[in-house]
Amino acid sequence: MSRKGLQEFEIDTKPSKKTSKQKFNDFFYNEDTGAILGRTPQSWAKILVFYTIFYAALIALFSICMVTFMQQFINPRVPRLQQDYGLIGTSPGLGFRPLPEDVRSTLIYYKGTGYDSYKYWENQLIDFLSVYKKKGQTAGAGQNIFNCDFRNPPPHGKVCDVDIRGWEPCIDENHFSFHKSSPCIFLKLNKIYGWRPEFYNDTANLPEAMPVDLQTHIRNITAFNRDYANMVWVSCHGETPADKENIGPVRYLPYPGFPGYFYPYENAEGYLSPLVAVHLERPRTGIVINIECRAWARNIKYDRRERLGVVHFELMIE
């Protein structure tokens, strides 16, 4: 503004006798200052620029938040943390069922053959196995079931059946054999997304630590059908020499291991972990038996202290 303009401005802003109607009109457009709605065009431009930048920054921040948040939902079937990054690590743990009421305990204890004495354990197993029983009725799960075989692994997105109905005597109609003092304990390997077992499938090269009866079984079953070798083998035994004697004969249903065609687990709809029912046929009664079950594959770590690849529980039947 020139010196002259400033003077004019000063003169113009001197209190003038304007009517309230004029003042009102001035608000919309002030001929003297050129202001529209109380602001000069320059001032309006500044505000426009300010808000454009302000909102752009806000939108950018919000977008970053949303992208980070949404990434977890892009494919809900693929966990973001895989394999080595997962908390469980690459080596799956082994678990047993039924579990004692007290989470710190690993003792399966019951007294006698009356229903009241073992109903807790039976109900635990019925509960645990219910998903295996009703899979046909749940939407999405039933139609995904593929007829798996060692030569016929399931195509991507299909799952293998775990048919627990034929596992006599380890069936609920038979109280999982608890009432006959020869209980069935179920074993399960923890699921790790994308984990592929490295099988002990070379009968000439089985680990020395593997129990002789399992080695014999592997040699026998693979002589009969080579494909059966691709299994995550399982063995259970008493811990001390006394326990080894007290545990009695052990049977594994349907196999002493988890068939290889169940792996890798890729979170397909209706996937069920394979199970092994361990039938303790004649455990000694009236004494605590320490039992250890181990899963066998080259890439399953074995550490008793860390409880890796091994599960421990005690059995006591009175």
Ligand X SMILES: *[C@@H]1O[C@H](CO)[C@@H](O)[C@H](O)[C@H]1NC(C)=O
Least distance to ligand X, CB of residue 199, Å: 4
Q: What is the residue whose two structure tokens read 């995550």?
A: 232
**Residue 217 or residue 284: which is nearer to ligand X going by CB?**
217
| Least distance in angstroms from the C-beta of 201 to ligand X | 4
Q: Where do contacts with ligand X occur on this chain (CB under 6 A)?
A: 198-199, 201, 216-217, 220, 224, 229-230
Residues of 131-155 as b/e, b for ≥16 C-beta within 10 angstroms? ebeebeeeeebeebbbebeeeebbe
* Shortest Cβ 198–ligand X spacing (Å): 4
CB of 230 to ligand X, least distance (A): 5
Minimum distance between the CB of residue 225 and ligand X, rounded to whole angstroms? 9
Tell the smallest beta-carbon distance from residue 121 to ligand X (Å): 30
CA angle 102, 103, 109 (to 5 degrees): 50
Amino acid identity, position 252? Y
| 8 A C-beta contact, residue 273 and residue 135 | no
- Of 219 and 244, nearer to ligand X (C-beta) is 219
Between 196 and 307, CB nearer to ligand X:
196
Q: Which of 21, 157, 147, 8 is nearest to 78 (CA)?
A: 157
**Spatial CB neighbours of 1, under 8 Å, sequence gap ≥ 6:** 9
Amino acid letter, 152: N
Q: With contact defined as beta carbons under 8 Å apart, do 121 and 178 qualify?
A: yes
Nearer to ligand X by Cβ, of 181 and 230: the residue is: 230
CB 291 within 8 A of CB 238: yes
Closer to ligand X by Cβ: residue 35 or 218? 218
Angle at the Cα of 184 from the Cα atoms of 297 and 88, rounded to 5 degrees: 40
For ligand X, the closer of residues 49 and 223 by Cβ is: 223
